[in-house]
Structure 1
Amino acid sequence: MFTKDGYTTRLYSGQLPSKALTRIDKVDVVSPGLMFVQLAGKLDIHQAIILGTLLCSCPNGPRSEPLVTSKELQTFLDSMNKYYGLPNARTAIKYVNDRACSIMEVFVALFLSLPNHLGGLGLKGGYFNYKVELDPRGSAALGQGVCYIDYCFPDAKIACEYLGDEHKNTVDNDSVRNMALARMGYRVVTVTKSQLYHPEKLDQFLQQLAEMHGTKIRIRSKKYETAHRRICELLPRMSYPIDTIDAINQPQSSNFPSKKIVMSGRAQKPL
């Protein structure tokens, strides 16, 4: 390893997996999998999870295909050995889910589904942009046969919908959509940007989701509060446009306040 002009170069003399490089315009560039490993060595665990989730996202909408899937990333990691960044990448991939369509959906999932020691509620069974086939009435009202739930717990029939700025112009459609989902047995919970940035509002949202899962909040992990605060630090800065890479460029410390939340029990309410 050597540093020159502010750039650090690491030499790797081992055998790279066959899919480590891809050729574009006659130039070999790193594949998404190798890039994930390389950057994971410079990121903390939360940043690495966010990076992996964004690599497996569908920024062009839920009907589009991701650049790479979490399964493909896992297969690539399994094919590597003793590479800088590999340990952090292997830890992060455990919490990477496919098919997020926005950075804010990613944060909703982090708060709800990461284990307690990483700052989340540890709610299991969540999926990004879960496809629901509407019943005839809902289909007729919306003019479409399916809809996609931003972050869904299908077994518990809980639908989390993030309302971004663009939803100001889709209030009517959102209302019809939520009614259609409710008629099919889904409990729809909406969350806005301000709820994610405001500690008390965020606490209320998390409490509501825990209660809907039939869970009493009693987190005993000493690492929870520090990890929860770290997720809050990584939220894209509201004074700038939200960009998918913004979360990775946040500082390592912040004065973002955090409320204590504790959780125990995993009893599910009957469906």
Structure 2
Amino acid sequence: MSKIALFGPTALELFGHTVHAPLQRRAITSERAAEFTPSKRVLDHVHSTFPFLSRPAHITVFDRKHRRQKYARCHLGTPALLNFDFLHVGDGILAPPPEVALVQAMRGRSVIQAAAQGSALCASYSLHADSPTIIQREPIATRASLEMVTRSCSSIPGCKTVRNALPWILPHAASPREIALGLVLFLPVRLGGYGLPRPTLNFPIPTGKHPGNLADRRYYVADLCWPHAHLIVEYDSDAFHLTSDQHYHDIVKRTTLESMGYHVITVSRRQLNDPSEMDKVAACIAKALQKEWRFRVRDFPTRQTQLWTILGLAPNR
């Protein structure tokens, strides 16, 4: 069977469901490039191995005559691509490194999309292939590794977009909604965000020993935190779905953190979906951070709606 190399969007989709980053690497030399010949059989093999991948799959070809395919979106590999070791993700199936896949996928995309996708690669979760369940994992990329790749693949379309998105990437998110909340608060006003200072996602806070300590853990993890301001923002996805134990833990966590001098603000799923509600939340956060709260962009509501749409939120304006 011929070998196949996944490309940008399909590789990113695969990495989004990867619990462990593949360790086995293989260089695709100019001599070996001829082995990567797409066919219906090999594409069926890809989708049987990874049935959650969207169709048609995006794949890399190294010969112009292989670009026209009925069963896949084929992209001609640039010479710069041969400088990277591909990851062995399945029998005869290779994928570019996550950082390269991001660059490939961002051709014609926006800085917002690059920041969101880049944050997902640097996150500490993956998505279950058959359910909405979130699985914890180690990040498969870092802002530093993304920056390094943008220096060496400037000839690959999408590189400039990723480079421009680097300042806005938020690592260590534990869910897609945390990425969305972080970007909504952090992205500049010109991109529809609130332009607040960068938060640290999933910031560990040791509980220590102090009078009246109610903590049931040695440390708590704050969803979004501004340590210098002792400010925490917690995302509460669906409070009415919590078990009694989870509800008790959340109460103890908040009480403990507040007793340690932290100001805790909770954002609900409904608030995050509604820009008008998030305006109020952001104003409260800005006040706590002693940040000037002023918009100098006339069409901010339009930009805000665009941001919400790109992030998969549900604007009510």
TM-score relative to the length of structure 2: 0.68
Cα distance between partner residues in 1 of 2:313 and 2:99: 28
Equivalent residue in structure 2 for 1:24, among 86, 89, 92:
89
Equivalent residue in structure 2 for 1:5, among 43, 54, 70:
70
Task: Number of aligned residue pairs: give it.
Answer: 241
State the one-letter code of the partner of 1:90: R
Cα distance between partner residues in 2 of 1:138 and 1:177: 15
State the one-letter code of the partner of 2:95: V
| 1:235, distance to aligned residue in structure 2 (A) | 4.5
| 1:82, distance to aligned residue in structure 2 (A) | 1.4
1:95-244 alignment to 2 at 5 Å? 95-137=168-210, 141-165=214-238, 168-169=242-243, 170-222=246-298, 224-236=300-312
Q: 1:236 to 1:115 in 2, by over 3 A?
A: closer
Cα distance between partner residues in 1 of 2:143 and 2:197: 17
Q: Give the 4+ runs in structure 1 shifted more than 4 A.
A: 1-4, 60-64, 137-140
Q: 1:127 to 1:102 in 2, by over 3 A?
A: same
Equivalent residue in structure 2 for 1:67, among 140, 150, 155:
140
Q: Secondary structure of 1:219's partner? A: coil
| 1:225, distance to aligned residue in structure 2 (A) | 3.1
- Residues 93-137 of structure 1: CA deviation (Å, up to 9, x unaligned): 221121000111111111211111111122113111011111225
Aligned to 2:27: none
Aligned sequence identity (%): 24
Q: Secondary structure of 2:80's partner? A: coil
Cα distance between partner residues in 1 of 2:176 and 2:233: 15
- Residues 154-211 of structure 1: CA deviation (Å, up to 9, x unaligned): 1111100001126622222111111111121111000000001123322211111111
Greater Rg over alpha carbons, structure: 2
Matched, 1:86 2:159: yes
Cα distance between partner residues in 1 of 2:154 and 2:255: 51
Whether the aligned pair in 2 keeps the contact of 1:133 and 1:146 (CA below 8 Å) is yes
Give unpaired runs (5+ residues) of structure 2: 1-63, 127-133
Whether the aligned pair in 1 keeps the contact of 2:205 and 2:220 (CA below 8 Å) is yes
State the one-letter code of the partner of 2:70: D
Aligned to 1:41: 107
Cα distance between partner residues in 2 of 1:7 and 1:62: 29
Whether the aligned pair in 2 keeps the contact of 1:22 and 1:30 (CA below 8 Å) is yes
**More off after superposition, 218-227 vs 128-137:** 218-227
Aligned to 2:117: 51
Q: Secondary structure of 1:108's partner? A: helix
Q: 1:76 to 1:168 in 2, by over 3 A?
A: same
Give unpaired runs (5+ residues) of structure 1: 239-255, 259-271
Cα distance between partner residues in 2 of 1:77 and 1:120: 25
| 1:13, distance to aligned residue in structure 2 (A) | 3.3
State the one-letter code of the partner of 1:85: G
Cα distance between partner residues in 1 of 2:299 and 2:84: 37
Whether the aligned pair in 1 keeps the contact of 2:170 and 2:179 (CA below 8 Å) is no
CA RMSD of aligned residues (A): 2.7
Cα distance between partner residues in 2 of 1:145 and 1:103: 26
